[in-house]
Amino acid sequence: MYAVLSNILILSLKEIKSLLSDVILVALMVYFFTAAVVVAAKGASQEVRNAPVAVVDHDRSALSRRLMDAVLPPHFKRPVAVESGEVQRHMDLGDFYFVLDIPPGYEEKILKGERPRIQLLVDATAMTLAGTGTGYLTSVLGQELSSFTSEAAGGTPRELARAPRAVPAVNVLFNPNASAVWHMGVVQIVGNLTLLTLMLSGAAIIREKERGTIEHLLVMPVSAGEIAAAKIAANGTVIVALALCSLYVIVHTALGVPVEGSFGLLTLGMFVYVLSFASLGILLAVMAPSMPQFGLLCIPVYMLVYLLSGGTSPAESMPEQMQQLIQVSPTTQFVAFIQDVVHRGADVDNVGGRLLVMLLQGLLFLAVALLRFKSMLLRQG
């Protein structure tokens, strides 16, 4: 056992030295866990912010002006009054995402108890903004109309405010401000961790084959398992160290996202996950004869596991069969694990099952990868 561990340590140090000697690759890894995380967390927000709104006010009443005044920053820009003949041109040019068309006699009909309608035109080319923004606008206008009709029915606003009524109290757990930064920053780290683990572990094998140094390994007194373990340990250690620094320095300190869970538990979970995906990377590298073909194999594998992991969209929104199928992916287990630990402060009793599943998946991938790796070494020999 001492000889095995000694061989793995020596090969790991050799692999880390080779990895750190590639300046461009090191710079790319640092970028992935610094600037890329900040850009994804702040730049890819799905919240409505500063959406341009126009209003065609045919009524020109106190109520129509009140509705315009209710549309406020930061979700929307201040509404701009336009004429009805200009609406189509502005929408075609993308000047406004939302256009409110208030019909003539709107306030009068409201006071008579009728239900006139306001037309809302939406530029749906920005799909996420259109869907979320429509809900925001509908809620804002609904609340303002409800307040107006209540005041018109009798009583001053102060008296109406003192009147007993049912007020819903909404408590948001783990992310009280519903900030997308909390979610996107952590998910981006998971995505970058997945991609780099897959690429670096496989590229380490491809480099040995392309440079002809695989023959040097064959004449050394080391086994295929020791070679594979060294490459997983070396690349995994570097990537996990970068991911942890990114989580605590970039996400926690720079972006202000609290990290509730144990540092040791997070480190353990990342190493178990890296074991799974590094083994998969070695398996793909053994199957691919060259670096370009290995890259083509990695892209669909990464996109599939990442998009179906539940990080970018909830797993509950997928078909039931797909929800069950994606549980075999280590990424699905890891996304749930890191969200539980980082945001909810879960301990090992809560996430121990996910750790065990990831470990079993990793050992399975590693066993298959070692079988293929040994076959490749025999062919090289």
Q: Per-residue pLDDT tens for 9-54?
A: 988 898 898 888 889 989 999 999 999 999 888 876 666 778 899 9
How high is the pLDDT of residue 250?
A: 94
Read off the tokens for 301. Answer: 């594998």
Q: What is the DSSP letter of 248?
A: I
Assess whether pLDDT exceeds 50 at residue 208: yes
Average pLDDT rounded to a whole number, residues 200-216 = 79
Average pLDDT rounded to a whole number, residues 197-216 = 81
Assess whether pLDDT exceeds 50 at residue 352: yes
Assess whether pLDDT exceeds 50 at residue 334: yes
Count Cβ neighbours within 10 Å for each residue of 132-162 and write b for 16 or more, e otherwise: bbbebbeebbeebbeebeeeeeeeeeeeeee
Assess whether pLDDT exceeds 70 at residue 164: no
Spatial separation of the C-alpha atoms in residues 232 and 267, rounded to whole Å: 15
Share of the chain above pLDDT 70, in %: 90
Count Cβ neighbours within 10 Å for each residue of 61-83 and write b for 16 or more, e otherwise: bebbeebbebbeeebbbebeebe
For the chain, the straight-line distance linking the first and the last C-alpha, in angstroms and rounded, comes to 26
Burial class (CB in 10 A: 0-12, 13-18, 19+), 167: exposed
Single-letter amino acid code for the residue at 348: V
Average pLDDT rounded to a whole number, residues 246-272 = 93
Spatial separation of the C-alpha atoms in residues 304 and 300, rounded to whole Å: 6
Burial class (CB in 10 A: 0-12, 13-18, 19+), 219: exposed
333's CB contacts (< 8 A; 6+ apart) are 273, 327, 354, 357, 358, 361
How high is the pLDDT of residue 218?
A: 66
Contact 11, 228 (CB under 8 A): no
How high is the pLDDT of residue 188?
A: 92
How high is the pLDDT of residue 4?
A: 85
**Count of residues making up the chain:** 381
Lowest mean pLDDT among 77-81, 82-86, 122-126: 122-126
Q: What three-state secondary structure class fits 67?
A: helix
Q: What angle in degrees, to the nearest 10, is found between the helix axes of 330-344 and 180-211?
A: 140
Assess whether pLDDT exceeds 80 at residue 260: yes
Instruction: Give the pLDDT band of residue 155 (cuts 50, 70, 90).
Output: low
Spatial separation of the C-alpha atoms in residues 240 and 201, rounded to whole Å: 13
Task: Between 205 and 358, name the one with better pLDDT.
Answer: 358
Give how far Cα 198 sits from Cα of 3, 31, 192, 235, 284, Å: 28, 17, 10, 10, 9
Per DSSP bridges, beta strands 98-102 and 119-122 are antiparallel
Assigned CATH for 53-162: 3.40.1710.10
Contact 258, 252 (CB under 8 A): yes
Instruction: Give the pLDDT band of residue 163 (cuts 50, 70, 90).
Output: very low
| Identity of the highest mean pLDDT range in 43-57, 167-181, 203-217, 228-242 | 228-242
Spatial separation of the C-alpha atoms in residues 36 and 187, rounded to whole Å: 12
Name the average pLDDT for the chain: 85
Assess whether pLDDT exceeds 80 at residue 356: yes
Average pLDDT rounded to a whole number, residues 337-343 = 92
Give how far Cα 193 sits from Cα of 12, 238, 265, Å: 19, 11, 17
Lowest mean pLDDT among 211-215, 234-238, 293-297: 211-215
Flag whether the pTM goes above 0.95: no
Assess whether pLDDT exceeds 60 at residue 166: no
The full set of domain ranges for the chain reads 2-44+179-380, 53-162
Work out whether the CA dihedral 244, 245, 247, 252 comes out positive or negative: positive
Assess whether pLDDT exceeds 70 at residue 162: no
How high is the pLDDT of residue 151?
A: 79
Assess whether pLDDT exceeds 80 at residue 275: yes
Q: What three-state secondary structure class fits 257?
A: coil
Single-letter amino acid code for the residue at 17: K
Read off the tokens for 275. Answer: 């074991």
Q: What is the pLDDT of residues 293-319, one digit of tens each?
A: 888 888 999 999 998 888 877 777 788
How high is the pLDDT of residue 168?
A: 57
Assess whether pLDDT exceeds 70 at residue 161: no
Assess whether pLDDT exceeds 80 at residue 170: no
